[in-house]
Amino acid sequence: MPSYIFTNHLLNYMKLILSTVLFSLITGFACIAQTMSIEGEVRDSISSQPIPYSTIGVKGKSIGTIADERGLFKFHVNERTIDSVQSFIVSSIGYKSVVISLDKFKDGKIVISLTPTIIELEAVIIRPKKSKRKILGRIGSSTFMTANMFTERNLIDDNLGKEQARIINIDKECLIRDFNMYVVFNHFQSVKFRLNFYSVKNGEPDQLINDRDILFEVSQKSGWVKVDLLQYDLYLKEHDKVAVAIQWIKSIKTDSTSRAFNVSAIPTPFHSMFFRDKSQSVWKKISPANLAFNITVDSFKGTKKDERVSIEDSQIEEKIKNYLQNTEFGEEALASGFGNSPEKGRYITISNSKIYFEVYGSGEPLLLLHGNSQSISSFYKQIAELAKYYRVLAVDSRAHGKSLDTSTVTLTYDLFADDMKQFLDSLHINQTNILGWSDGGNTALIMAIKYPLLVNKLVVMGAVLNPSGVDTSLLESIKNDIFKLKTSTDTKSVNQLRILSMLINEPHIQPDELRAIKAPVLVIAGERDIVKLAHTKEIKNYIKKAEMFIVPNSGHYAPIEMPELFNKVVIEFLRK
């Protein structure tokens, strides 16, 4: 090769390397420039003492944090997510809030002074009154469903300032004696919370009621947590409802790698839970959902309606709400994006229904079938992991999630199985693996019986052959809820009635029919599953190529409680 040609090649190569390095540097500087540090210290304007656990946030956005016990805070924001004209609201109970512009933080750490508010005490007229002690709110301690306050999935965020709330009907005049909540599991050494009481407007939390900071710590790993409130003189008048919220203030981790804190929640009709990520962000509603919060009150002006609340909550304990999980497992599943992805979501029209589905990953197809009243998002702790090995087809069943049903026919698992056959045919899939959870497991078993060549390998979690596979009292509770829904004529209630009716009428799988299943099957249940262990064993015993795995320390929603173990067992079975 002539030397001048070699020299030209060398020069071009050097130019390419130089341009690549320059591009990388410019891109790196651009990324750095987009991230801004927000750092400060909150102090009392009179005493100059630090104000512990003040809140910092941007109105209407999930941006902000909580100051520590020394009044110090520091976090980072992406400048693309916040306008330069927007400001931070710094507040603390007992002080006047201040507004700080974004520009103030550009020069580094700043000191923020808050002025104490002067509380004008009302004249108190002491007169003897008869009172009645009541417990208002949910008194059940179901552990089959949780509302996640903090889990491993949220480690990218500090979680400080996150709030969870529920609305409780109260009497027109009452003294709040204590607050109670049921913790399903706590993987932290301790967690400090702020307890907030809000007025209710348009069915959502509105203005803060308590004028004193109520802080409490939780160190116990599970069970009921009680907070004595008598010292705070929470005497409420002219409120028929109050929103009770806990706000994440501080946590101390353990040596374990697991980070989770969950409060019990059950999907009771006509109840809702609310959450927001930061102190100034918008409240989001999940319904039906019933957090295990309650308050003990001395009531001075009672109503029959309020007494019904306690009775109703007592009746629902440990029954149907353990089974349905229709809260989408709290805000974490909702925020995951699974089941509501503009990029991944598609529709296929089949038999008077538009089936919504999302596709992730590549390789052999793996069909995910959710349970009764659930949606794609119920698999939010499985999809990403499974997509590493398979082409995951996550589907909303007919009349569930985003799938539409234009018919009024009775819903059955046979109908769902036929829907999935048409769905797979539309995608030209001749054989697939299937993971079915709860009612999705019922559908999967029927698919394997009716279309044995369609199923390569099958995993069912918490499936049943007939309604007798679950506790009798659960079925009675379902019937009670169905009776209530029959009095409602709105579209949502009518659809929920059709879905719930499946639980007491379906499925009708004969044990001998399982012998028709040719595919290898992994039968899974939780150690504390509401599906009877004997029933789970029966399913395993009637299938020729079946294995069984009982997930320890978990219930009917083991995929949420023990995701790492559950995913590992499923993937190992499918890949062997």
Phi-psi region of 283 (alpha: psi -120 to 50; beta: other; left: phi over 0): beta
CA distances in angstroms from 208 to 130, 287, 323, listed in the order given: 28, 23, 34
Q: Are 161 and 64 in contact (CB under 8 A)?
A: yes
Side chain identity at residue 492, one-letter code: K
Residues 470, 555: Cα–Cα separation, whole Å: 13
Domains located in the chain, CATH noted: 1-117 (2.60.40.1120), 132-327 (2.60.120), 337-471+510-575 (3.40.50.1820)
**φ/ψ of residue 263, rounded to 5:** -110, 140
Q: Are 243 and 197 in contact (CB under 8 A)?
A: yes
DSSP 548: E
Residues 393, 383: Cα–Cα separation, whole Å: 9
Strand pairing partners for 218?
191
Side chain identity at residue 407, one-letter code: S
User: What string of pLDDT tens digits covers the 576 residues of the chain?
Assistant: 444 443 444 445 455 444 544 444 444 444 444 678 899 999 999 999 999 999 999 998 888 999 999 999 998 887 776 666 678 999 999 999 999 988 888 888 999 999 998 765 454 444 446 788 999 998 876 544 455 665 444 433 467 899 999 999 998 889 999 999 998 888 888 999 999 999 999 999 999 999 899 999 999 988 899 999 999 989 998 899 999 999 999 988 876 666 678 888 877 667 888 999 899 999 998 877 788 899 999 988 765 343 433 333 444 444 444 444 434 455 567 778 899 999 999 999 998 899 999 999 999 999 999 998 889 999 999 999 999 999 999 999 999 999 999 898 999 999 999 999 999 999 999 999 999 999 999 999 999 999 999 999 999 999 999 999 987 766 776 777 777 777 777 787 788 889 888 988 999 999 999 999 999 999 999 988 889 999 999 999 999 999 999 999 888 889 988 999 999 999 999 999
Q: Are 294 and 137 in contact (CB under 8 A)?
A: yes
Q: What is the pLDDT, as a whole number, of residue 119?
A: 60
Residues 467, 310: Cα–Cα separation, whole Å: 29
The overall pTM is greater than 0.85: no
Q: Are 539 and 547 in contact (CB under 8 A)?
A: no
Residues 71, 65: Cα–Cα separation, whole Å: 12
Q: What is the pLDDT, as a whole number, of residue 327?
A: 42
Residues 373, 531: Cα–Cα separation, whole Å: 17
Ranges of H-type helices in 526-562:
533-542, 558-561
What single string gives the DSSP state of each residue in 436-489? EETHHHHHHHHHHHH-GGGEEEEEEES--SSGGGB-HHHHHHHHHHHHHHTT--
CA distances in angstroms from 327 to 130, 414, 420, listed in the order given: 39, 26, 25
Q: What is the pLDDT, as a whole number, of residue 396?
A: 97
Side chain identity at residue 197, one-letter code: F
Residues 324, 326: Cα–Cα separation, whole Å: 5
Q: Are 429 and 400 in contact (CB under 8 A)?
A: no
Q: What is the pLDDT, as a whole number, of residue 120?
A: 55
Comparing CA positions, the residue from 282, 276, 288 lying closest to residue 246 is 276
Q: Which residues lie closer than 8 Å to 100 by C-beta, 6 or more apart?
A: 40, 87, 88, 89, 90, 110, 112
Six-digit token string for 385: 């992991």
CA atoms 339, 341, 344, 345: torsion sign: positive
Query: Which position has the token pair 């499918």?
Result: 574
122-147: b (≥16 Cβ within 10 Å) or e: eeeeeeeeeeeebbbbbbbebbbbbb
Our measurement of the distance from residue 43's CA atom to the centroid of its chain's CA atoms, rounded to an integer in Å, reads 35
Largest CA distance in the chain: 110
Q: Which helix (H) or strand (E) holds 397?
A: none
Comparing CA positions, the residue from 450, 461, 312 lying closest to residue 381 is 461
Q: Are 411 and 398 in contact (CB under 8 A)?
A: yes
Q: What is the pLDDT, as a whole number, of residue 354?
A: 95
Our measurement of the distance from residue 59's CA atom to the centroid of its chain's CA atoms, rounded to an integer in Å, reads 23
Residues 455, 453: Cα–Cα separation, whole Å: 6
* Coil/strand/helix, residue 317: coil
Six-digit token string for 146: 């949780």
